[in-house]
Structure 1
């Protein structure tokens, strides 16, 4: 497959910015779209093993961006670098106006509290209730034992967790133990935990990989209904080409240790993406 690198869009197609007139009736210049994430020539290696290099992109507020590529191309590693969980080898990553390559540990913790994560492993605490698991999504903002269990949590936190459960359709299971849930229910709880703190950016790493096709489709549909309603910037990885094309505004493709594709999803088809998995 030949490399396809297109100019990054000024703003998501679904969210145009129209100039407004000032007091004299003269149209004002449209405000530039807010950039939530900017990676500049980012590289990562483990020892002598180079994962990727010279990766640059910008993520506009409210975009849904699909990160695709074959196993081993570094998709999950790139997400972890973007969240400041692991350092880059070179280059720069700015997330929500914070340069993660020079930020302190305290600044990085505060940054991650403004982000949500949904992974293919639901990572629920089996013996705790659904409600307690969702409340734990507030630990980044409110560390300490009070947000470990719903029994200790402040009323406002319990209310926020119940609201998040209601959004994923599971408020009636709030007091059920997490180990009594189906796979699809568990992933819905994980989504509720990710959105309870009203994140500005959501990272979803193979969010339906552990689910059967029907449950996976339900989870993806629910997930993107929620993020579209709230205008959250989303980066998600998926081995399902159809999901990338259907739910992504933009597609970033990793192959051969570099960014091979950056294009609007509306300009691509299945054949364009399949080459990234060869």
Structure 2
């Protein structure tokens, strides 16, 4: 299930663009489309000049000597990728970008990032790239013939609420590249957030509030057990309840709801909202 209206969260292009797959007997135009899609995903939407293209790997792919996965590997292990996203970046920035470009999601936790840092220290850059592409996750998700795509903004692509919200730290809008369109540039975005670990607020990237109107019964203060907070609380704004999927407790059920939820109950509340067919407009720390 996608997280709220994709157009309001800066992931509409990822949500509306179907995965690109190589099939037997495809046209030359389809092959060129796949090549462009690989460059766009693996190089983080950065512009690739004609002189920078991997002509040998492209020719091998066009002749059927390389699968999509092996073409992805060639691009990710190229000097072009290495110079843009490894040698010029801080260590943990390079790792989080590898997750974005090759697996389409943010790293799960600090241990996952440390494991790749260890590979870089002991085996080098090429071996670390192989560790992503040869993983069971890559094979089960993309196989040999599907171009990797951004998938971490969908809740089923992540294993924790922290990982899910961190997607929006790495991916907000598809019109800019991983580095030039990001204020953090070559510096890590998730390092301290992963160490804690800390979920981040997810709010509309443009037109905040245009898809959510605060209902009159929205909780403005903490009540009952919430009155003495023992941890961070989060305000969840939900819109778009679909009547057919919600238990008909009331025929006047509101389309917009607000929940104040402690961190310990955040994941369970998300599951209830999804089960009822709601779309989450924003999650912010109270």
Does TM-score exceed 0.5, indicating one fold?
A: no
Report the TM-score, using the length of structure 1 for normalisation: 0.31
Q: TM-score, normalised by structure 2?
A: 0.31
Q: Which has the larger radius of gyration?
A: 2
Structure with greater helix percent: 2
Higher normalized strand content (fraction of residues): 1
